[in-house]
Structure 1
Amino acid sequence: MSDVVTRVRALCLALAGVTEHVSHGTPLFKRGKRAFVQVWPDGHHQNRFPHLWCAAPEGVQELLIEQDPRTYFRPPYVGHRGWVGVVLTDPDWQDVEERIDSAYERAG
């Protein structure tokens, strides 16, 4: 797997009670029964770049996309539930860790 998956995996599995599953051929991370992050190292549908989808508190998706549309986007399937897509082409790993931590808390 790619370095992106290795890094996201390490961040997610460092959190208590997280398990990794495969969904649609890519890693999906759950806290208990609730998914909170999915990573797409080769992209997905029209988004042909490495990225992740993560759960976000209400209103955060819109705020992040408005502030930085090059980094954040509304992902298919889960975007209507407030999840946010994060571009991982040249990621700010501190920001990615904050998004993962926030998603993990949301799944608690």
Structure 2
Amino acid sequence: MALPRAAEKLSHGQPNFYIEKGKVFAQYWHDHHRDGRSAVMVKTSGPEEQAMLVEADPDLYYRPAYIGHSGWIAIRTDRSHADWDHIADRVRMSWHLAAPARLVGMGPE
């Protein structure tokens, strides 16, 4: 929420984080469709980065249903070794990919 123009709203019972005009940059899923996982969904630069992340650490990353085909990646948060600094970095990167150009140079408000 410290990112410029960030806001939160529920969608399908799960929190979504977006920038003005509804550009979603992160989602939180807990037991989505009873899959038993908790994860943060973030944008990647595209399918190549998505595939690289899943291949590098399939215990941490997976291609989420519905939005994975658009290059989004899921980062598991239900593991005891969850690296919250890494997750925060990925959320910031996702914000940068979704943000309008006029906001990208802004620091946290």
Range into which the TM-score falls when normalised by the shorter chain: 0.7 to 0.9
Equivalent AA in structure 2 for residue 53 of structure 1: M
Q: Report how many residues are paired.
A: 95
Distance 1:37 1:82 in 2: 13
Question: Alpha carbon RMSD of aligned pairs, Å?
Answer: 1.1
User: If the length of structure 1 is used for normalisation, what is the TM-score?
Assistant: 0.83
Could you tell me how far 1:47 is from its partner in structure 2? 2.8
Query: Which protein shows a greater Rg?
Result: 2
Q: Which amino acid aligns with 1:95?
A: H
The unaligned stretches of length 5 or more in structure 2 are 100-109
1:94 to partner: Cα distance: 1.2
Instruction: Write the deviation string for residues 6-58 of structure 1: whole angstroms up to 9, x where unpaired.
Output: xxxxxxx0111001010010100001220011102x32125312111111112
Q: Which structure is richer in relative contact order (CA contacts within 8 A, separation 6 or more)?
A: 2
Query: Which stretches in structure 1 are left out of the alignment for 5+ residues?
Result: 1-12
Corresponding residue of 2:50: 61
Please, what TM-score do these two structures have when normalized by structure 2?
Answer: 0.82
Runs of 4 or more, structure 1, over 6 Å off, are: none
Structure 1 pair 73–46 and aligned structure 2 pair: CA distance change class (3 A): farther
Matched residues, percent identical?
32
* Residue 100, structure 1, aligned to residue 88, structure 2: no
